[in-house]
Amino acid sequence: GNSVTQMEGPVTLSEEAFLTINCTYTATGYPSLFWYVQYPGEGLQLLLKATKADDKGSNKGFEATYRKETTSFHLEKGSVQVSDSAVYFCAPAPGSARQLTFGSGTQLTVLP
């Protein structure tokens, strides 16, 4: 089956620090890969995605590269802001299934 291993939280950083949240997955075939974010009191929303190997997804200063050889999709940001405080979910989406498989989420808190 499909599974996701996501870096456990919570993660607390100071503003302007570098962020990495690790994500590895197992899936049949070559899934599309997503990062979703959940801000306090809001629904999940797409942060970025990559649909094939070596693609880099990017949005709001966040980046993640689809690494087929290591089955990873690590999320990075060079300089975090207080407004980035949220829960981040890694989610591979196998093309042959009708489901996203979400990781357990990583709580990020950025302090001013």
| Residue nearer to another protein on the CB measure, 34 or 62 | 34
The torsion region of residue 50 among left (phi > 0), alpha (psi -120 to 50) and beta comes to: beta
Question: Minimum distance from CB of 83 to another protein (Å)?
Answer: 19
Residue 51 interacts with another protein (CB under 8 A)? yes
Q: Calculate the CA 28 to chain-centre distance.
A: 19
> Which position among 32, 64, 80, 108 is part of the footprint of another protein (CB under 8 A)?
32
Residue 98 interacts with another protein (CB under 8 A)? yes
- The pattern of x and - marking residues 52 through 71 that bind another protein according to CB under 8 A reads --------------------
Question: Minimum distance from CB of 84 to another protein (Å)?
Answer: 19
| Residue nearer to another protein on the CB measure, 19 or 37 | 37
d(CA 98, CA 15): 38
CB 57 within 8 A of CB 45: no
Consecutive H or E run containing 104? none
> Which residue type sits at 23?
C
Closest CA to 48 of 24, 74, 26: 74
Interacting residue ranges for another protein, rule: CB under 8 A:
4, 6, 31-32, 34, 36, 41-46, 49, 51, 89, 91, 93-96, 98-105
